Each structure stands twice: as C-alpha cells, then as structure tokens.
C-alpha cells in the first residue's frame, strides 16, 4: 500500500480523516502533517507517523513529503494568505515525487456569481494549479457543515428561536465525520483520479425546515424569526464572535438562503456506501430532551 499523508492532522477534518484511514489501511501506511506534532500524540500512539510541516515552509514540506504517494490537502483557514500556503504544498509535492493530491474546495453551483471572500477565489486558484500541475488530483467538494448550524441560526434556538436574515433557500449540509470518511475512501482506493465529487448531504433543508425539526425534537414550538443583517451580526457578537467572524458567518448564511448549496448528486452516499447523517439525526442528537 502506498503511503498516504493528511495535512492539518490536528484540525477537525484532518484528524477525522486519519481516524477513518486507520479503519481502511495499516497505520504504517498513514502519515499526519502538523505544525506541532506534540498536539498529535494520540495519533502517534495509534501507530500513525506524525511529521512536522508548515504550509509556509516550502523546504520543510519537501522533506515531510518524502516517500509519500498521496496527499490529502486540507484547506487552511480563511484570511491567512491561502494561495501562498496551498501553492507551497502543491510545489513541494511535485518536488518530492508525490503522485496524487486530494483537495476539498467548497461546492459551487455552475454559473453562480456568489462569492465568499478568502474562500471562493482561493479555491479556484488551487483547482487551476492542480489541473496544470501534472499531478493526479481529486476534488471532494464540501457543503456547509452540520456542526455549524447552531451558529448559522443565531445560537440558543430553543430559547430564542431560529434567527436568520430573510431567505428561503435550502442547503445539503453534511457532517465533518461523513466528509472525512468519504475522503478516506478516496485516499485509500484506486480509481478516483481525475474525479470531481460534490459531497452534498441529504435532504437539503431551509431555515424554516430547521425550525420545524427543532420543534419536533424539543416538543415545543420553535419560531423562525427573520432579522436584519445588522441584528443578525449583533446577535452573533453577543454570543462571543468578534465582528469580522460574525460578518463572515453572515455571508455563509446569505449563500444558504440564496440556495447556493441546494443540490443532490448522491456522491457522498456512494462513497460512504450508506446514507449520510441527516439534519434530523444531527439536531435530534444535539437538542432532544435538552432543558431550556
């Protein structure tokens, strides 16, 4: 089995991808990349080799990629010079003799003019670089995460209702765990080279749908409250988000309300070989029987 490396080993998606790889291949064939390997001691205890690597350190990346055939390039966070970091990974992979990179851009509807600052254009940059790199590549496109729902709906929905700006669009949210498992499938199997997967969850739901689901699982009416953009951002700031982060979340919610992630390809279910977690299952696990 070729060696597989997952970047961002100490982050949510990277760590989960490594955990799922452990179920599919030998630990001796798995490598995690981390800026601080000490934070991945639990992964090392399971037999995963953890190498030090920083997206800004090109020479260090070349060393870290030695002997690696496939890389899961986990996106770095927004507003951190993503183009330089991702390009460094691609260039280092070529120098080290890596054959295949899997990358996780956001899902984009064809012809859409919707733009997320520090996400949309930066994803396109990586896609173009990979397509022109000569490396095998696979795109595993992500929808919004189920785990972000509580933030999207304003926080404390059982007390304050679902509070969002106007919009009736639906989104096919998926859990990080399901997305990570799908990535592990792509990394551990042949035949995914050149593929472009849109990993929508199913079914797609609107914020009105979410309010109804919460009403059903909590046993009390949960209203949908339409708020202004200013009030929405103020609510998130009151919950602890700084203003730039709250404004960034507002842009995600704008995309959801406009239907930017209302699609259904079946790609996620086919890769998993089972139904992915649904919004009802996620919200029931999080909110059923919770005291208000």
Among the listed residues 248, 78, 226, the one whose alpha carbon sits nearest the alpha carbon of residue 151: 248
Q: In the structure, what pLDDT confidence band is assigned to residue 269 with cuts at 50, 70 and 90?
A: very high
On the question of pLDDT at 289 being above 80, the answer is no
Give the mean model confidence (pLDDT) for residues 83-97: 97
What number does CATH give the domain 4-141? 3.40.50.720
Q: Say if residues 233 and 246 touch (Cβ distance below 8 Å).
A: yes
On the question of pLDDT at 290 being above 70, the answer is no
Give the mean model confidence (pLDDT) for residues 20-25: 98
Q: List, for residues 145-174, the tens digit of each pLDDT value.
A: 999 999 999 988 999 999 999 999 999 999
**Cα separation, 223 vs 88, whole angstroms:** 47
Write down the domain spans for the chain. 4-141, 145-172+200-262+274-292
Predicted pLDDT at 110: 81
**Cα separation, 57 vs 109, whole angstroms:** 34
> What are the residues facing 198 on neighbouring strands?
141
Q: List, for residues 188-228, the tens digit of each pLDDT value.
A: 999 999 999 999 999 999 999 999 999 999 999 999 999 99
**Cα separation, 89 vs 167, whole angstroms:** 38
On the question of pLDDT at 1 being above 80, the answer is no
- Supply the pTM of this predicted model: 0.96
Q: In the structure, what pLDDT confidence band is assigned to residue 17 with cuts at 50, 70 and 90?
A: very high
DSSP-derived secondary structure letter, 40: G
Domain 145-172+200-262+274-292 has CATH 1.20.1560.10: no
Averaged pLDDT of the chain: 95
**Cα separation, 243 vs 240, whole angstroms:** 9
Give the mean model confidence (pLDDT) for residues 105-131: 92
On the question of pLDDT at 127 being above 60, the answer is yes
């Amino acid at each position: 089995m070729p060696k597989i490396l997952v970047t961002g080993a100490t982050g949510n998606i990277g760590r989960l991808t490594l955990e799922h790889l452990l179920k599919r291949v030998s630990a001796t064939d798995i490598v995690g990349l981390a800026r601080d390997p000490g934070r991945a001691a639990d992964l090392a205890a399971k037999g995963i080799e953890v190498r030090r690597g920083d997206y800004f350190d090109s020479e260090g990346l070349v060393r870290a990629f030695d002997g690696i055939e496939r890389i899961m390039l986990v996106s770095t966070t927004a507003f951190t010079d993503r183009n330089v970091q991702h390009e460094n990974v691609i260039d280092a992979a070529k120098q080290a003799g890596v054959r295949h990179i899997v990358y996780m851009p956001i899902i984009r509807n064809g012809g859409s003019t919707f733009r997320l600052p520090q996400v949309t254009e930066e994803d396109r940059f990586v896609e173009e670089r990979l397509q022109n790199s000569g490396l095998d590549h696979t795109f595993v496109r992500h929808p919004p995460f189920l785990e972000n729902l509580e933030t999207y709906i304003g926080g404390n929905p059982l007390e304050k209702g679902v509070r969002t700006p106007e919009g009736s669009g639906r989104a096919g949210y998926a859990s990080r765990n399901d997305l990570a498992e799908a990535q592990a499938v792509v990394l551990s199997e042949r035949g995914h080279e050149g593929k472009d997967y849109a990993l929508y969850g199913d079914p797609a739901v609107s914020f009105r749908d979410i309010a109804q689901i919460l009403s059903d699982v909590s046993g009390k009416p949960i209203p949908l409250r339409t708020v202004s953009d200013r009030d929405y951002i103020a609510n998130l700031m009151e919950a602890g988000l700084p203003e730039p982060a709250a404004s960034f979340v507002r842009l995600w919610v704008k995309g959801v309300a406009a239907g930017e992630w209302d699609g259904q390809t079946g790609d996620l279910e086919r890769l998993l070989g089972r139904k992915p977690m649904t919004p009802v299952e996620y919200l029931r696990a999080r909110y059923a029987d919770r005291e208000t």
